[in-house]
A and B are shown apart, each in its own frame.
Chain A
Amino acid sequence: MSKPKFAMYWAAACGGCEIAVLQIKEKILEVAENFDIVFWPVATDFKYKDVEAMADGEILLTLFNGAVRNSENEYMAHLLRQKSQVLVAFGACAAQGGIPGLANVSTAAEIKELVYIDNPSVQNPDRVFPVERFEVPEGELDLPHLYDTVRALDQVEDVDYYIPGCPPEGPQIWAVLETIIGILKNGGDLPPKGTVLGAGTKTCCDECSRVKKEKKITGFKKPWEVPWDPETCLLEQGIICMGPVTRDGCGGRCTSVGMPCRGCYGPPPGVTDQGAKMLSTLASIIDAESPEKIAEIAATVPDPLGTFYRFGLAKSMLRRAKV
């Protein structure tokens, strides 16, 4: 019997998710032993046409990392959905829009203007922009069309499971792959559709090793503005930490070394808009003698959008800035 087929694809993302898979170390050999790797552009030389030639549902498992922000990403999302039995949104970008989702504060035209004209290190007096189609003697060349709005994978296609994180933690990736391999070998049922795999059901605070007491802050601070304190909750020190509104599963890695949680594991169960919840949390812990004073302190929050929606803008209620 031939082995079940495995694919991995990289859409609008930094590539960190691809590296994260190697965090499972020698266990990658077990993946190769149990799966036939049929498509993985970073690691193997299969082409799009090889995927196109496959029968529908021929691939058992596809890990799709990256958001969808151009026509190529979208084409591959549709194609891989068609050819895969199980499509997994792998990593913060595919699951939440991730860092690329922050591009939703601008439009494609504004981004191109910045990159090809306004960037201080660019000289482009003739306003030369890349074109999407170009005729050469050998035929027509084309580039993917850049969209105005970055989308998470499930805003484009039907997604079976989510593995959050920027990037997902190695042991968590292995736990998911091991479960799937176990089911393949010994039978059993896959988890219900829509399940978030490789993560917990509580918040990052639950895993964080720091001591939490009553939260009362009188202003916002950056990590380098406070004396080193490996014990006290970062929020209690006035550092904006996304822990209370972020799903657990990472083991509290950032907070254990004094860096606030950035929210990469996405919202915990029951929360749809991670940023709005963080805003609410933060406003609730400001301590001052009057509501006016509280409002004054709240108004000093630096960059609410970039901080609260660092990974979740594309999947937030409003999804993008007004055009």
Chain B
Amino acid sequence: MRPSRLPRHAMDASFWRDERVRAVAAQVLAFAAVVAVFAWLVTNTAANLDRLNIRLTLGFFDERAGFNILQTPIPYDNNSTYLRAFLVGLVNTLIVGVIGVILATILGFLVGIGRLSSNWLLARLATIYVETFRNIPLLLQLVFWAEAVLTLLPRAQQAIELPFGATLSVRGLYLPAPVAESALLWVGVAFLAGIAAAYLLGRWARGRQARTGQRFPAASVGLALIFGLPILTFLVLGRPLAWEPPVLQRFNFTGGIPIIPELAALVLGLVIYTAAFIAEVVRGGILAVPRGQIEAARAVGLSSGTTMRRVIIPQALRAIIPPLTNQYLNLIKNSSLAVAIGYPDLVGVFKNTVLNQTGRAIEVVAITMAVYLFISLAGSVFMNRFNARVAIRER
């Protein structure tokens, strides 16, 4: 049918029925709506700030903070600037993030593999662990550790004595601090030399096996080199490392490495909670390896250990890494709950105290969100790269 034979109203309507016209119109409308909402918010904000006589500025960063922080991994006192306080909070967040990620990975892998164990009791215990801690809010677990458990510890005067001079009390866990003598440098050198020797040994062993088919226990000898060389050096040099135990003052300890109870509660809660999720990720990843792979590996005569290392784990990792990344990022984001139990992380330092002191809500909240957003995006970019490297390359 020719267009000219169409009734007149159909011709008119056809303009709006054109997909391209509609696509452009929809996008223009959506964009206009977003711009309008944004403009409305900005005008409101500007009017409110005007009325309250506030100007957006980061000038307060250079002012004296004037408050103390519970845990200062970098030099800080109450004469430092707000910028310094911000950095202290950031470092505190990263400390929790790093410790938490390492411990949660170890515990999560153990529990996840435990759930698949042929040992009935172990599998049940792992299941109970996962189902218990996954279904209780993290915040509840944090306040439980901080307010119900760690407060039951004895006072500093009756601190529990642990081996090597460490003490555990309501003031926290105090570890002896290592005091290194200059000769300790050689132990580090020996460690690096051990790694290099193990690497060369591995290359030589692989080459020999490829040529002659003879195997060499490169893994165990390599491990012995990496750890044996530094230990040997350490003993030969007459143990150039002293331990300085914490000393009890009137109410608290000085010296040593303090782990404040807030940090302990935060790490404990985060690790136990996140490990439950990591365990499920690991279990899912291992179950995702087709049974045929395992059967084929056994059929070509690989031992069960080699099957695990060379067949199951490399394939399981492909399924594990993306969700594992999410769990790591969740752990770091969740560490912001520190604010509820008084650990001075980024949110605790910056938002609670700085916001209360300066009243600069917009700047403070925006900076805090930007930091987390940056960590999240950087984390996912890094893991995507890593994932691309281990992904299956199909022909």
A binds B: no
B residues apposed to A, CB below 8 Å = none
A residues apposed to B, CB below 8 Å = none
